Amino acid sequence: MAENQQSKRVENGGNYWRFMAMVSTSTVLMFFLMYANTYDADHFFWSETRFWMMFVMGAMMMVVMILFMWGMYKDRKKNFIIIGVAAIVFALALWLVRSQTTVTGSEYMQAMIPHHSIAIMTSERAHIRDPRVRKLAHDIILAQRREIAQMKYLIADIEENGVRTTERLPEGIETPQGAMR
């Protein structure tokens, strides 16, 4: 009986709930796959940027899938609604990724740690023969490890003590305005 209902849905224009379940599942899986090239599990941090990027990819996948399966999903009105919703989600999520409007200082660092981790992994594992390039890769590894440690320290300090203002900076630390002169 369930098979008969499934075949009737396909004959009548496709199972749109199943389509949305496929897209949603794939979109969530893509979020986690964005961490697959992180060097160390200790470098896994929540990244709002990657969260918004997941929607960019999911929206694009929704359009590609509906266009490839147009013959299976025969309700043109629903198909165009899917494309329209996907376009809106894509545009909004891409704007959020590129503008970084919702990203705070801690969230910025949480996104940068996995990014730096990727640089460590590729620099360490690439088969580099030229000694100049190998030295560059070594320098990148050292810099990225130092910056990851610094970001972890700052994240913990902000969680414990709150965001500092320029009035609360320790002596000897230059303000961003002073550094720009």
pLDDT in tens, 109-159: 999 999 999 999 999 999 999 999 999 999 999 999 999 999 999 999 899
pTM assigned to the model: 0.75
End-to-end CA distance of the chain: 75
CB atoms within 10 A of CB 115: 15
Report the C-alpha gap between 114 and 44 in whole angstroms.
6
Rounded to the nearest 5°, which phi and psi values hold at 52? -65, -35
Rounded to the nearest 5°, which phi and psi values hold at 165? -100, 170
Report the C-alpha gap between 167 and 45 in whole angstroms.
29
Please write down the long-range contacts of 8-11, taking CB distance under 8 Å and 24 or more positions apart. 10/72
